[in-house]
Structure 1
Amino acid sequence: MTNFADYKIADINGAGWGRREINIAETEMPGLMALRDEFGKEKPLKGARIAGCLHMTIQTAVLIETLIALGAEVRWSSCNI
């Protein structure tokens, strides 16, 4: 039996670099960070299931992590256009 994964990581060795870039982007996106600070404990999106298909950028990662921090269940697919 094979192991099933419903995700694909092109190169896990880039994770450290990616996390650093996300940390930088968070400082440039004060609106999303304010939402996390204000509503993170309340989890207002708990029970919400959000799916997206959009170019994966560092900023998209900040959006996704914000949705998760607010309680949403998130599934994302990278757009190839």
Structure 2
Amino acid sequence: FLTTYWNRMTESISMEQLAGLQRRALVNLGGCLIARVDGKSPVEYLDDPVTKDTVRAIGWNLLNEPHEYWEDLPETIMNRIDH
């Protein structure tokens, strides 16, 4: 489903629009990660302080540093986990 959706999306918008969409989506993801840890209704399954710090750091990284592509996300996450 997701592959089909993404393929259809990329067929119907310009590369410039797609790049902007990816940038905004990655910033949004950063905000969502921080909200799940520090927001008004944090998730219960993130109860380990080390895990919370990792999720929080990834979220802030996505908000504060430019990320252009979804493909960069695994590297960003793994770099944070390795620290």
TM-score, shorter chain, exceeding 0.5: no
TM range (shorter): under 0.3
More strand by share: 1
TM-score by length of 1: 0.25
